[in-house]
Amino acid sequence: QASIRTASSICNILADNIGVRLWSWSTTLGFFIVILNLAELGLDVVLHATKFPQAGGQWTSVSLLLFSTVAIFLLKLMTTLVRSEHLNVAMVKLDGFLRDCGQGLDWGSCAIEQWRCFVVMWSMLIGAFVTEQTLEVYHANEVDHQWSVPMKLHITKAMISVLLLTVSSSVVMTGAYFQFNLLLGLAKTIDCWCSDISETEDFMAGIRSWNTLQALLKSVGREMTPCFLALNTLGYVGFFAALAGSCSLLLDDHLDGWTLVLSEFALLPTIYLFYLSARLFAEGALLSEKCQQVPAFVNQLPGEDDDAQRQYLVRFVADSSTGFIVKGVMLTQSAFLKQVQLLTAIFSGFSGILLRRYL
């Protein structure tokens, strides 16, 4: 009964806006994605064996295979996360903690504005991919004017590819948004705690409440770690796959301009995957940054008569090392900026090689 009550509470907090119910279909969706992927790869092999012209066929298969892999991983990991008893208990206690503070928080709508951004980016991806597949079919039709069997197979492959990307990217987007909303909600709890301590100026009670809050934050972060690591790791794999693929295409002297453009468009899903992982990493770093700013906030609160208690709370918060911690490492904005610098340097190096070749 306790488990049922906990699951019911987590659904009331999160399910309405960030797709918790999607993960109840994880087995069916995973099987569907695998079947579509096998069908797409099989048709690609057949068309390649018949030497049918495909402008961006192999790069489309690479992008879809990577996206499908991420989707299947997330289906498994997100199902485990949503059903995690530790996550359910932590979220219910966090919600109760906020209500005790007199603040309250609508967990389901924490990032409702961000949802529009996620949907717009997803729609642009699907639109660009549909355009690329349409142009690829048109290009193939220019070469093969007759509706031969390979041409029909090519059209079928294009339809399967669009369906596969739509399903896989929907799963990946929802999984990223679920984690993003959790991180944003945790950041809101820090704001609520700061608001409560500034109103009550009860620093001794603040020590007890912060001790509870930081324990719950670390518990949620620990449960999110597998999903977070999977999406970020494969997101960077997508980035390097897109970079390596683009460079290999640009360095190939035998490709015509039409094939080059379509092949580059076929790599767009990997860029979108990296975008999702980078957004999630940045939000985790922002949560840690907000936690690190709490001691300075408490230190500037008025109340000279309670200076010793305030300083004790400042030291207690600083020593708790609260933030978004992944495998014992706290994500910070400085770490995020270092990764951006590294990726920028790698991109600049490849750009320099291409410039020296073509200029």
HEC assignment per residue over 329-355? EECCHHHHHHHHHHHHHHHHHHHHHHH
> Rounded distance, CA 286 to CA 184, Å?
9
> Rounded distance, CA 245 to CA 264, Å?
8
- pLDDT of res. 152: 81
Of 180, 222, 237, 239, nearest in space to 330 by CA: 222
How far out from the chain centre does Cα 271 lie? 12
- pLDDT of res. 137: 78
> Rounded distance, CA 29 to CA 26, Å?
5
Exposed / middle / buried, residue 260 (Cβ in 10 Å: 0-12, 13-18, 19+):
middle
For 326, the enclosing helix (H) or strand (E) is strand 325-326
> Rounded distance, CA 154 to CA 255, Å?
20
Q: At what angle do helices 203-250 and 257-266 cross, to 10 degrees?
A: 160
pLDDT average per 10 residues of sequence, the chain (359 residues): 39 54 74 88 81 70 86 87 79 74 58 78 89 80 68 84 90 87 84 83 84 86 89 88 78 70 80 89 90 88 73 86 84 84 80 69
> Rounded distance, CA 188 to CA 186, Å?
5
Residue type, 268: L
pTM of the model: 0.82
> Rounded distance, CA 216 to CA 135, Å?
51
- pLDDT of res. 19: 56
How far out from the chain centre does Cα 54 lie? 31
- pLDDT of res. 1: 33
